[in-house]
Amino acid sequence: MIYQNHPKQLISVDCVVFGYQNEQLKLLLFERDLEPAKGELSLVGGWVNENKSVEDAAAQVLLHLTGLSDIFLKQVSVFSKPDRDPGGRVISVVFYALINIEDHNQKLVDEFGAKWWPVDQLPNLVFDHNLMVEKALEKLQQLATYELVGRDLLAEQFTITQLRNLYNSIFQREFDPGNFRKKILSLKAMDRLDIKDTSESKKGAFYYQFKSQEEINISERIVKL
C-alpha cells in the first residue's frame, strides 16, 4: 500500500428496497439492531470492506435478506455529512433495489422482522434515512421516465392496468387508462398472452409478459415530466 499517511473512513451501504403490493409502492424497513438508535426504524445497511466494491456490498446485503443474487440495484448517491450518524463518522453509499414482495416476503418477515411501508406514509427513520428515501424515489422516477419499470416489481404475468397502477404509485399521479395503454403498447416491450386475469374485472384483462431485455429497445420518453 502506497497511500500510507491518509486517514481512512468507515464506509457503509444503505439500501432503499422498493416493492409493490396492493396497488401501493412500499419499502422495506427494519428495526435497527445496534446502538445508537437501536430499535428505531431504518433502512437495511452493511459495511464495505477492503475487497468489495460498494455494488458488491449492496448486493451482499440483499442476498442475505432474500437469498437472491440477481437483484435490481442502482446507486443513488453518497451521504457523508460528518455528523450524519451520531455513532461516529460513517460515509454511506445509498442504493435502491426493486424486488417482488410476494416472492420474498416470508424470509424477510420471518428471519429479519422486516416491515413493508407505503412510501407515501413513511414514519420517521433514523439519521438521514428519510432523505435517502426521498432521493431514491426521485431516481426511481427518473428511471421509469425513460425505461419500463415493472419486471422486478410485478409478477411474471401482469395486466396493463396493474402496470398502470404501478406507474401511478411511482409518480403519485393518475395516468389516463386509454392513453397509458396506447403509449405502453407502442413501446413493443411486452408480449400479450392468451390468458386473462378475471380477478380485477368482470370482463377480464389480458395478461402480458416482458420481452427479454435484449429485445427491448426504448428510445423515447415514456412519462412526460
81 binds DNA (CB under 7 A): no
Residues comprising the chain, all counted: 225
- Report what 200 binds from DNA, its own copies, none; CB cut-off 5-8 Å by kind: DNA
By C-alpha distance, which of 78, 94, 85 is closest to 32?
Answer: 85
Q: List binders of its own copies among 12-71 (CB under 8 A).
A: 34-36, 47-55
- Report what 89 binds from DNA, its own copies, none; CB cut-off 5-8 Å by kind: its own copies
Shorter beta-carbon distance to its own copies: residue 84 or 107: 84
| Residue whose cell numbers read 424477510 | 108
Tell which one of 60, 77, 105, 161 touches DNA (CB under 7 A): 161
Considering the complex, what minimum distance in angstroms separates the CB of residue 69 from DNA? Answer: 34
Q: How many CB atoms lie within 10 A of CB 48?
A: 20
> Max CA-CA distance within the chain?
71
Shorter beta-carbon distance to DNA: residue 36 or 177: 177
Q: List binders of DNA among 128-157 (CB under 7 A).
A: none
Contact 218, 211 (CB under 8 A): no
Q: Which three cell numbers stand for residue 155?
A: 409478477
173 binds its own copies (CB under 8 A): no
Strand segments (E) across 32-184: 41-42, 44-47, 72-79, 90-98, 115-118
CA 134 to each of CA 29, 31, 72, 130: distance values in angstroms, whole numbers, following the listed order: 14, 19, 19, 6
Q: List binders of its own copies among 85-124 (CB under 8 A).
A: 87-91, 93
Q: Which residues contact DNA (rule: CB under 7 A)? A: 159-161, 176-179, 181-183, 196, 198, 200-206, 220-221, 224-225
Q: Which residues contact its own copies (rule: CB under 8 A)? A: 1-3, 6-11, 34-36, 47-55, 75, 77-78, 80-82, 87-91, 93, 219-221, 225
